[in-house]
Structure 1
Amino acid sequence: MDGEEQREGNASYSISVKGMNFAYQDQPPLFTDFNLTISSGSRCLLVGANGSGKTTLLRILAGKHMVGGRDVIRVLNSSAFHDTQLVCSGDLAYLGGSWSKNAGCAGEIPLQGDFSAKHMIFGVEGIDPARRDKLVELLDINLQWRMHKVSDGQRRRVQICMGLLRPFQVLLLDEVTVDLDIVARLDLLDFFKEECEQRGATVVYATHIFDGLETWATHLAYIIDGEQKRLEKLSELEELNTGTTLLSVVESWLRSECKDRRKKVVKPTSQQFSSTSPFDGSPFRSSRHLAYFR
């Protein structure tokens, strides 16, 4: 790739993953030579079965896990892990499943204490008041809510509001709309769409709820056991051109994946349990079944 192509590549991709390897301690590799590119301004759905690696991938992109090599993970052409200014500036935002907000360089703030929603939201300094007011109205937040008394859905609205106070360039969402009612969820998706279309921001959204996403998303990435199986524009997804819903398409993929996984399971034979130990007949001998229950 020559210099001009490299510059074009840096400008056209908000996220670039090249040859990533990752494993949790004492666990087999979750990602091996993993590659992914996400275009600037896109709204990409990240889909896959439970345990496929979606949450881990989002946390890696958010700089919460270290991956060897500064050029392996590039977000906004910077190292997601090493360049802390990405998070401190708000250019890179991550909203996951926990009741906490990563407030720049200050670390994570719990959202369940005995304090008001106003205390949480207005306590963030250096933000645009107009944007703050718009988010409070959009998410229908009562500033007098006490965070230890509200419902999960109401607490989630405050979490989302705080995560969006600063204009992001890349937003990573991990099932963050799961507690919202349908009106709040659709209004929030419209807000994300507006951010992408008007400011060129990029959203990566991992979810198992597909209602209304056929016309919202621009791209879809499908992951199986840490491997990218599909990455394409939704407008070019052949299955959707036949009038099938996105939910039905993803369901068929996951069912096919489940069948393939079952075929790979090797059933144990009686020989695997045989032993020539002289203690086989002893009542004190540990068996596989006893070890399982222990």
Structure 2
Amino acid sequence: MAGPEAVAAPVLSVEDVSHSFGRRKALDGVSFAIPAGRFAVLLGLNGAGKTTLFSLITRLYNNRSGSIRVFGFDMRRQPSQALARMGVVFQQPTLDPDLTVMQNLRYHGGLHGLPRAVIEERAGEELSRIGLSDRAGERVRTLSGGQRRRVEIARALLHRPGLLLLDEPTVGLDVELRRLVLGHVHGLCRDRGLAVLWATHLIDEALPRDGVIVLHRGRVLASGLMEEVCAAAGAATLDESFARLTGMGRVR
């Protein structure tokens, strides 16, 4: 039996994962791990491989090399167990605009096999948390972009996952809405102990205590807490670190 000093297995473990589209290698030996309660920013320019990596983690693509594990469940051999423990917010909107907010949540909960009473209770809790209880009966198309994003996050949490993946979740949102969505997810990470993987090309979405994974042209150039990434790059800021690691100009 493991002693109290044993280190818990990571919530998400990606080891030596590569992926190609024909002759073009989109990912090359990608490895990193995220523990419970960690908000990790997957930082890379457009085309770095972030969406390809998300597609592998969510099994939209099959990973043919390396391994992806969620709470220890291997994505190739135990996909049902792995997928049941994650919630996903994709880059493209996925709510049905002609259904009401509550109908979207009920449909998602049903796909996960949740009893109707549980769906109603959890949906009510999540909508209250994001301040949209009064919009539950309205069609999604009447919501603003920021409100739709928050509903997508609420939907992703209905089945109580331990891992939340978000692919460029603030695209198209103004500065204030970006701040609200980012703060909401940080709160979930803090209050519920969620492991979060937040993919973005916007460097100001990474906060000082976050984990950072720098992905560039399909390869992980650095991974760790922000201060560790900066120290490894010999830089004072993440902006400068990114520029040094990638050889590219600073990103905003």
Q: How high is the TM-score relative to the length of structure 2?
A: 0.77
- Are the aligned partners of 1:156 and 1:180 in contact in 2 as well (CA < 8 Å)? no
SS in 2 for 1:21: strand
Q: Is the 8 A contact 1:93 1:168 kept in 2?
A: yes
> What is the aligned-residue identity percentage?
23
Give the residue type in structure 2 aligned to 1:78.
Answer: F
Aligned: 1:137 with 2:98: no
Q: How does 1:40-51 map to 2 (within 5 A)?
A: 40-51=36-47
Deviation at 1:48, TM superposition (A): 1.1
Give the aligned partner of residue 163 of structure 2.
170
Distance 1:149 1:173 in 2: 23
- Residues of 2 paired with 1:214 and 1:250: CA distance? 14
Residue 54 of structure 1: aligned partner: 50
> Which residues in structure 2 correspond to 1:194-205 (within 5 Å)?
194-205=187-198
CA drift at 1:221: 0.5
Cα contact 1:240–1:249 (8 A) shared by 2: no
1:7-156 equivalences under 5 Å are: 11-24=8-21, 26-68=22-64, 72-81=67-76, 82-87=78-83, 89=84, 91-100=85-94, 111-112=96-97, 114-123=98-107, 124-125=109-110, 126=114, 127=118, 129=120, 131-141=122-132, 142-156=135-149
* 2:153 matched residue in structure 1: 160
For 1:73, the aligned partner's letter is: I
Given that 2:216 and 2:246 are in contact with CA atoms closer than 8 Å, whether structure 1 keeps it comes out as: no
List aligned pairs for 1:283-294, cutoff 5 A. Answer: none
User: Structure 1: which 5+ runs fail to align?
Assistant: 101-109, 260-294
Cα offsets for 1:123-148 (capped at 9, x unmatched): 43434655433421333331233234
| CA drift at 1:61 | 1.3
Which of 216, 223, 239 pairs up with 1:231? Answer: 223
Q: 1:22 to 1:14 in 2, by over 3 A?
A: same
Aligned residue in 2 for 1:284: none
Check 1:194–1:153 CA distance in 2 against 1; reply closer, same or farther (3 A cut). closer
CA distance in 2, matches of 1:166, 1:240: 42
Is the 1:45–1:221 Cα contact (8 Å) retained in structure 2? yes
Q: 1:22 to 1:221 in 2, by over 3 A?
A: same
Report the AA paired with residue 87 of structure 2.
A
Bigger Rg, which one: 1
Give the deviation of 1:257 after TM superposition.
2.8
Structure 1 residues 193-222: Cα deviation after superposition (integer angstroms, max 9, x where no partner): 34434443210101133446324x421010
Q: 1:199 to 1:117 in 2, by over 3 A?
A: closer
Which residue identity is paired with 2:185? F
Q: What CA distance in whole angstroms lies between the structure 2 residues aligned with 1:218 and 1:240?
A: 18
- Determine which structure has greater relative contact order: mean sequence separation of CA pairs < 8 Å that are 6+ residues apart, divided by chain length: 2
Q: 1:135 to 1:241 in 2, by over 3 A?
A: farther
TM-score normalised by L of structure 1: 0.67
